[in-house]
Amino acid sequence: MSKRLLRGARVVDPANGRDGAFDVLIEGDRIARVGRDLPIDNETTVVDVPGGFVVCPGLIDMHVHLREPGQEHKETVATGTSAAVAGGFTAVACMPNTSPVNDNAGVTEYILKKAAEANLARVYPIGAVSRGQKGEQLADIAELRQAGCVAITDDGHPVATAMLMRRALEYAGMFNLPVIDHCEEQTLTADGVAHEGFHASALGLRGIPGEAESIMALRDIALAELTRGVVHIAHMSARQTLDAVRWGKSRGARVTCEVTPHHVILTDEMLGAPVAYDTNVKMNPPLREAADRDALLAGLADGSVDVIATDHAPHHYDEKQVEFDRAPFGITGLETAVSLCFDRLVHPGVVSLARLIELLSVNPARILNVKGGTLSEGAPADISILAPDMRVTVDAGRMRSKSKNTPFDGWTLRGGVAATIVGGRVVYTNEGVSLQM
Amino acid sequence: MKKDLLSISDLTTDEIHLVLDTTEAMREIGQRPIKKVPTLRGRTVVNLFYEPSTRTRTSFEIAEKRLSADTLNISVASSSVLKGETLSDTAKNIEAMSPDMIVLRHASSGAGHLLSRICRSRIINAGDGLHEHPTQALLDAFTIREHKKSIAGLKVTIVGDLLHSRVLRSNVLLLTKLGAEVWVSGPQTLVPAGIERMGVRVSTNIDLAVADADVIMMLRIQQERMHGAFIPSLREYFSVFGMTKARVERAKPDVIIMHPGPMNRGVEIASEVADGPYSVILEQVANGVAVRMAVLYLLAGGAEVD
């Protein structure tokens, strides 16, 4: 059995209350021991982790669009998981709005097969709530669960009606599956393409008010209470939505929520500058005002927000090189998340490193009910080695994702990924780092 | 001057005055028996119109021809755009023929910005989606200046479908830049979010908005606005917001009434007002050619005008 000792790192493992200098011994695909001055034998590969680097439980991105089957020009499971491990993620949960939709075991198994072939990050498929994501009939949720799905969603769309959301919560609740909702009251969105506010008005872009999101979140929370089901609010963008989540939690509703890095960093001011009508600034939900961004930051700090997930939404260059209203919504996120989180959240003191690990690892694992989020002895050896002070310049052209639709190209950030280990195997090492794995 | 004219914000106050002053010289050319000067001879201007247009298109074409430019008209109905070619590809194909200028009208806000990133040619925005229509605002300003000498300090009230109007946005930018007191009025459902931040007073009470106005500018309201529940009916719109003779009388005695056209008589404006003594609507159209000549000339580098 292969043995690898990670020595001399700062180990941050909030689930076990650890933050300090520890050695981590990996045997095979498991974490064998975490301690100090662990004994070595001549079968153990010793990795001397450079000072300042952090060893933590593998990061899990619970909102990723891998685009396979059906949209392989944008991304595949192979390229997406390659991007994931380069971004420090040991696992991703992938959305069902593929073509065909993942509303049956066949598609789920196909995705898992592709993930196994790529053999990089773990892939946890999320199945559809409704057949074809049409918002009418429930998908075969038990079958999806059996095939390996960890949650259900109609993401891309909201769960269409209150009736369907209720049924989904009741039914999925039997299997302890969370229902993830993309909260959007579509009659308020109408043909909106940007946040309804001064910037969209000045640029002549049809607006989407924050209430389009919060109204649905309130609906979902009320239904979660009614059904005792579990709801997770995807990609929160509006301060009103966060208020709704806090209200729900205070009443004991089983609700959790996530934010993307871009919604806590960028605002709708980007619509006009530096590049006016930049389609790499178009996503759903849209970038909102400073007040929304600041409210979400406060939510990260005070614990109201449970998860950071990227909503990695790759689109081919040609698809984005069109007029703003015609461009598809979405930006990539796997390969920029860690650097953005260090640079804009940890270093400025918005969240501690331990809290960041909760947001990116502990909580996603708990919500999806998958192994991970800890460096406990016996746990799978899914480990991220992060470099909080690494100087990174975002270079879209060199990203592993097939798609380059990111507004962060050229940004210089402090913080990055040194290496990624999945099941004891080193699946990624950053060549720019002196780390002999 | 900047390479392109995509928005009024591309022009400094001095440049706006330069355009208006140059317009006077250009207008004189339109009064000669031979309405032509060689200023843009040998230059190629492409009129790329993705949306139908009567007055803007012909206005640009006449302006270009009076300056002796070679003009090329590309309208969607008769081009490969219908075969699904993207704006990007159409632009690259046109660019390969090295036009000096492209005059673009398109249904999407920001289309000119996209074109500008792709083409070396100078782009003149002839109307992009809901965003702007800079030459309309310039000809409106010229018309106002003709009657009022100076724009600073005037009360200008713009009434209508504010949300969907590119004429509104360009006019607000230009008029506030030149120091006018701008009021905007229309149904609450059609007031753009945050518009006060553009420096205007907003009122859904039209009688208040037009009181003592020096200039009243009416915007067209489209039939389609009843779908999407923006207004209940055109009949009700006329009753609450239509420019009637009675409402005009609340403005200053020497008020001028403007409209970018085309008008919906009996909807945003009563016929008797459109055809009445205060109306300068047809002058706007006439001024349009001269203003566009000025813009083309100045963007091309402003050589000597004979």
**Nearest chain B residue (CA) to A187:** B228
From the list A43, A148, A321, A292, the residue with the least C-alpha distance to B111 is: A321
Cα A253 to the chain's mean position, in Å? 23
Instruction: Report the greatest alpha carbon distance in chain A.
Output: 68
Check residue A62 and give its pLDDT.
Answer: 98
The torsion angles phi and psi of B215, rounded to 5 degrees, stand at -135, 135
Of the candidates A198, A323, A326, the beta carbon closest to that of B194 is on A198
Residue of chain B whose alpha carbon sits nearest to that of A199: B194
**For position B303, what pLDDT does the model report?**
53
| Ordered alpha helix ranges (H), chain B | 13-29, 55-66, 87-95, 111-118, 134-148, 166-177, 206-210, 234-241, 245-248, 271-274, 281-299
Show residues of chain A in contact with B129, CB under 8 Å. Answer: 204, 325
| pLDDT tens-digit map of A304-348 | 999 999 999 999 999 999 999 999 999 999 999 999 999 999 999
- Partners of A326 on chain B (C-beta within 8 Å) are 108
Note whether A197 contacts B: Cβ–Cβ < 8 A: yes
* CB contact A202 to B (< 8 Å): yes
Q: Is A205 on the interface with B (CB under 8 A)?
A: yes
Relative to beta strand A30-35, strand A18-27 is: antiparallel
User: CB–CB of B128 and A202 under 8 A?
Assistant: no
Residues of A annotated catalytic, as ranges: 311
Q: Work out the minimum CA distance from B174 to partner chain A, whole angstroms.
A: 13
* A196 Cβ under 8 Å from any chain B Cβ: yes
Interface residue of A323, A324, A325, A326 to substitute, partner B, most B CBs within 10 Å:
A323
pLDDT at B97: 86
Of A196, A209, A324, the CB nearest to B110: A324
Q: What is the pLDDT of residues A84-127, one digit of tens each?
A: 999 999 999 999 999 999 999 999 999 999 999 999 999 999 99
- Determine the pLDDT at residue B306: 45
pTM: 0.94
What's residue B55's pLDDT? Answer: 85
Which of B106, B111, B169 is opposite residue A202, by nearest beta carbon?
B169
Contact A89, A60 (CB under 8 A): yes
> By the 8 A CB rule, do A88 and A400 touch?
no
Among B108, B192, B198, the residue with its CB nearest the CB of A323 is: B108
Identify all chain B residues contacting A206, using CB atoms and an 8 Å cutoff: 130
Contact A407, A331 (CB under 8 A): yes
Q: Rounded CA gap, A125 and B76, in Å?
A: 44
Supply the pLDDT for residue B85: 82
Query: Chain A residues with CB inside 8 Å of B51's CB?
Result: none
Q: How far apart are CA A246 and CA A137, in angstroms?
A: 31
Handedness of CA A243, A249, A251, A254 (dihedral sign): positive
Check CB contact under 8 Å for B86 and A200: no
